[in-house]
């Protein structure tokens, strides 16, 4: 069954509408009465179970007393943009994580990967081997569909307004034999190719770098431009995922990422390190 994935703009908008209602001292019942809506409609908007129209946002902001015209226009723009279809809508039968929607709207991603090659950089062979290992019970048709979705996701690295990606990859990832030598050689070739893109920066964190502040904790920091610029941190674990957006959390992970990239050799040495690892396969 297809899952509706919340967009980042939609999440940002609904959380701000909730904050403004509470700031105005209004309960859901109060807001519903003023707008001549049902309480259920307010609840569906604030919990992301329905997309709110720009017209409804305009009415809500009037009742909530938001006087800042620039902020009002920014929120109405968010509502308009949140309703636009994205590439991943046609893969909603196999994509359940909101991260894909967030990544699709981000202007930049900074990530540390300690277990696998970042999804944006994986080859078809690597993706297929990974899916078969993690979800061995999946039928071939579903694996193929998921593989197709992940390849489509990689289009964000190209085009007129490409995603800016900075990835620090633990050396462990490059030695882990995923799918065999042929698949790994193809994957290393892909990393060489992508490293030449002007919007992509890649570094290897070598074994000799020793202990560091993100041991065993892969993460991604997403930066969003647009009418309300903001950043957030995405963490994934065995049974779920976590999205952090408090300033203190984002600040901490920014510090950790800066620490990692400082410990890793310069990006200019990335190809040489890949070649060294490839020679050992």
CATH number of the domain where residue 62 is located: 1.10.260.40
Q: What was the pLDDT predicted at 250?
A: 94
Instruction: Give the separation between CA 264 and CA 249, rounded to whole angstroms.
Output: 23
Segment 72-81 mean pLDDT: 90
pLDDT in tens, 48-64: 888 899 999 999 999 99
In a domain, 66, yes or no: yes
Using the predicted structure, report yes or no on whether residue 75 has a pLDDT greater than 90.
yes
Give yes or no: residues 99 and 229 share one domain: yes
* Farthest-apart Cα atoms in the chain, separation: 70
Give yes or no: residues 218 and 237 share one domain: yes
Give yes or no: residues 120 and 218 share one domain: yes
Give yes or no: residues 115 and 47 share one domain: no
Give yes or no: residues 42 and 105 share one domain: no
Segment 230-257 mean pLDDT: 90
User: Of the residues 82, 100, 120, which one is the last residue of a structural domain?
Assistant: 82
Give yes or no: residues 67 and 106 share one domain: no
> Nearest Cα to 130, choosing from 200, 100, 138?
138
Q: Mean of the per-residue pLDDT values for the chain?
A: 91
pTM for this prediction: 0.83
pLDDT in tens, 156-169: 999 889 999 999 99
Q: What was the pLDDT predicted at 240?
A: 78
- Please, is 68 exposed, middle or buried when counting C-beta atoms within 10 Å of its C-beta (0-12, 13-18, 19+)? exposed
Using the predicted structure, report yes or no on whether residue 2 has a pLDDT greater than 50.
no
Segment 175-201 mean pLDDT: 96
User: Of the residues 51, 82, 113, which one is the last residue of a structural domain?
Assistant: 82
Give yes or no: residues 271 and 192 share one domain: yes
Using the predicted structure, report yes or no on whether residue 3 has a pLDDT greater than 60.
no
Give yes or no: residues 78 and 132 share one domain: no
Higher pLDDT, 227 or 68: 68
Lowest mean pLDDT among 94-98, 133-137, 249-253: 94-98
> What is the percentage of the chain residues whose pLDDT exceeds 70?
98
Lowest mean pLDDT among 14-23, 25-34, 224-233: 224-233
Give yes or no: residues 236 and 270 share one domain: yes
Higher pLDDT, 183 or 228: 183
In a domain, 2, yes or no: no
DSSP designation for 218: -
In a domain, 182, yes or no: yes
Using the predicted structure, report yes or no on whether residue 7 has a pLDDT greater than 80.
no
Tell me the H-state helices in the chain: 8-23, 28-35, 39-46, 54-64, 69-82, 98-105, 124-134, 140-153, 171-175, 181-194, 247-263, 270-278
Q: What was the pLDDT predicted at 5?
A: 65
Number of domains in the chain: 2
Give yes or no: residues 128 and 245 share one domain: yes
Q: What was the pLDDT predicted at 94?
A: 86
Lowest mean pLDDT among 8-12, 65-69, 131-135, 265-269: 8-12
> 152 is in which domain, residue-wise?
87-278
pLDDT band at 1 (very low <50, low <70, confident <90, very high): very low
Give yes or no: residues 177 and 148 share one domain: yes
Q: What was the pLDDT predicted at 254?
A: 96
pLDDT band at 106 (very low <50, low <70, confident <90, very high): very high
Using the predicted structure, report yes or no on whether residue 22 has a pLDDT greater than 70.
yes
Higher pLDDT, 96 or 180: 180
Lowest mean pLDDT among 24-33, 48-57, 117-126, 192-201: 48-57
The residues, ordered by sequence, that sit 6+ positions from 206 with a Cβ below 8 Å of its Cβ are 171, 264, 265, 273
């Amino acid at each position: 069954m297809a899952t509706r994935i919340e967009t980042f703009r939609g999440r940002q908008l609904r959380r701000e509408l909730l904050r403004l209602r509470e700031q105005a001292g209004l309960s859901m019942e109060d807001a519903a009465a003023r707008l001549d809506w049902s309480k259920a409609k307010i609840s569906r908007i604030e919990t992301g179970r329905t997309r709110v129209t720009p017209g409804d946002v305009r009415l809500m902001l009037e009742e909530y007393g938001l006087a800042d015209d620039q902020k009002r226009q920014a929120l109405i723009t968010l509502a308009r943009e949140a309703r636009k279809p994205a590439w991943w809508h046609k893969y909603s039968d196999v994509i359940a994580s909101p991260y894909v929607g967030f990544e699709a709207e981000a202007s930049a991603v900074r990530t540390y990967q300690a277990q696998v090659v970042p999804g944006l950089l994986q080859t078809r062979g690597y993706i297929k081997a990974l899916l078969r290992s993690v979800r061995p019970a999946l039928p071939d048709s579903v694996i193929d569909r998921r593989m197709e979705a992940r390849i489509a996701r990689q289009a964000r690295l190209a085009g007129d307004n490409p995603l800016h990606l900075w990835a620090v990859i633990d050396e462990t990832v490059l030695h882990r034999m995923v799918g065999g030598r042929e698949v790994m050689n193809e994957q290393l070739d892909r990393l060489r190719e992508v490293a030449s893109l002007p919007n992509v920066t890649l570094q290897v964190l070598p074994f000799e770098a020793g202990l560091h502040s993100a041991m065993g904790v892969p993460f991604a920091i997403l930066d969003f431009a647009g009418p309300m610029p903001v950043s957030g941190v995405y963490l994934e674990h065995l049974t779920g995922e976590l999205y952090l957006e408090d300033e203190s959390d984002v600040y901490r992970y920014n510090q950790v990422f800066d620490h990692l990239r400082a410990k890793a050799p310069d990006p200019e040495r990335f190809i040489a390190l890949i070649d060294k690892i490839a020679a050992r396969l």
